[in-house]
Structure 1
C-alpha cells in the first residue's frame, strides 16, 4: 500500500495535536502516561513532537482517556489554526457554540 504524503494542513494539525497533548499531560511523566495508555513512550514522544501527524484513532482515544481530555474538545482545538491548543479553552468554546 502506498501512503500519500501529508498535506501542509495535516502536518499543522499534527503539530497542534502534539501541543495539546503536551499541555494536557502537564508535569505527568511521558513514561507513566504512555504506559497507562498502552502505548510506547516513543510513540507518545513522536505524537507530541508532531512527527506522527495522523496517529490512529484508538491511540489518541487511549491517550485522551488517560489525560481526562474530551475527544470533542481535542478535535475542536486542533482544527482551529492560530489558536493555542488548550483543552480548557476548547471546551469553553464548544459550550459557547452550543449555547448560541
Structure 2
C-alpha cells in the first residue's frame, strides 16, 4: 500500500479555469478517472484549496503503465487541457 507521503505530486497544471489552480494545483489530492481526466477539476470563479501541492489520490485509468491497484506510481504527474477536459498528461498506455 502507498502511504500518503509517497503519493505522486501534481508537478504542473495548466488547467487555469480550475478553482484549485492558482499558481499550481492546491487541491489536497486529485483523482484521475477512467478516461484519464482530472476528476477533481472544478470550474468556478472562486479559488479554493489548501496551501499544499496536490497529490494523486486515486487513479481509475487501469491501462496506464503508472497504475498499480488503482494507485498512481509515477514520480509526479502533469495535468492540462486536452479537448474540453483537464486530463492527466502523464498517462501512458501499458
TM-score (normalizing by structure 2): 0.33
TM-score (normalizing by structure 1): 0.32
Greater share of residues in helix: 1
Bigger CA radius of gyration: 1
